[in-house]
Every structure is written in C-alpha cells, then in structure tokens.
C-alpha cells in the first residue's frame, strides 16, 4: 500500500469510491487505506461543477449537494491554492496547458503529494509522482 499523502481529482474520487468508475484500479484501496491522507484541490470542485453544467456527469440531487455530501462522507483535506502554487503552475514542464490541470499538478508538486489523475499528457511529466 501507499502510506502517502495523495491528491485526487473530482469527480473521480467519489465515483471510484462508490465503485462506479474504475479510472485507476488501485484508487479505491488507496482511498480506503486509513494510513493514507487524501487531499483535494478546490479547483477539482470547480471542475466538477463545470462537468455537471455541461451534462458530462449527472450529480444527484444536484451538483452542490452532491459535492457537499461527498466531502462529508470522505475524510478529505483541502489542498489550498496559494501564490506559490500559482507561480509554480507556470514553471512546471508540462505538456498540458489547461489552467485547472496545471493548478492541480502544481499543488501536488508544492505539497509533495502523489497525484491520482488519469491524463496521458501528465503521465510522462517527471515532476509529478503519480498513482499507478
């Protein structure tokens, strides 16, 4: 098992934990392992709201309630955004240029977190430690 601090990406966190999505096969075990601390970037909450607005995910009874319910059910620590994280987001050598992805990657690097993200543009980034 990991015994690490990990940062995860919404909405996959809750979908995987409920067995509805298998993006990273070991993620459910990692989340449920009490020796691991799970972090979440506020950017992931924002991204979840965008996905719901675009009808790419359906979150019942509504996106806001779903997010609040998920955060209450899971032992999650907020990985705060900071000036340092924002500056680092532009310095990282990443193929991906989407601001939200860069913010989350920079958050993982800044706080030395293992990143649980399914994005082939990030799997080759040497600056990131990724959940396999």
When comparing pLDDT for 12 and 87, which is higher? Answer: 87
Whether the Cβ atoms of residue 14 and residue 51 lie closer than 8 Å to each other: no
- Mean of pLDDT values over 72-90: 91
Q: Which CATH entry fits the domain spanning 5-116: 3.40.50.1010, 2.120.10.70, 3.40.228.10, 3.30.565.10?
A: 3.40.50.1010
Q: pLDDT category, 23, cuts 50, 70, 90? A: low
Q: Which of 13-17, 88-92, 108-112, 123-127 has the lowest mean pLDDT?
A: 13-17
> What's residue 7's pLDDT?
64
Q: Is the pLDDT reported for residue 9 higher than 70? A: no
Q: Which residue has the tokens 């059910």?
A: 73
Q: pLDDT category, 4, cuts 50, 70, 90? A: low
Q: Is the pLDDT reported for residue 35 higher than 90? A: no
| 40 burial type by CB count under 10 A (0-12 exposed, 13-18 middle, 19+ buried) | buried
Taking the C-alpha atoms of residue 100 and residue 12, their distance in angstroms, rounded to an integer, is 15
């Amino acid at each position: 098992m990991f015994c690490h601090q990990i940062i995860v990406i919404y909405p996959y966190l809750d979908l995987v934990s409920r067995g509805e999505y298998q993006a990273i096969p070991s993620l459910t075990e990692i989340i449920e392992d009490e020796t691991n601390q799970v972090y979440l970037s506020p950017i992931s909450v924002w991204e979840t709201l965008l996905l719901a607005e675009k009808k790419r995910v359906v979150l019942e009874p509504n996106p806001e309630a779903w997010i609040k319910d998920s955060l209450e059910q899971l032992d999650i620590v907020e990985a705060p955004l900071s000036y340092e994280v924002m500056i680092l987001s532009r310095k990282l050598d990443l193929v991906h240029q989407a601001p939200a992805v860069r913010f989350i990657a920079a958050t993982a690097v800044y706080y030395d977190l293992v990143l649980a993200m399914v994005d082939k543009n990030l799997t080759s980034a040497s600056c990131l430690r990724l959940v396999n």
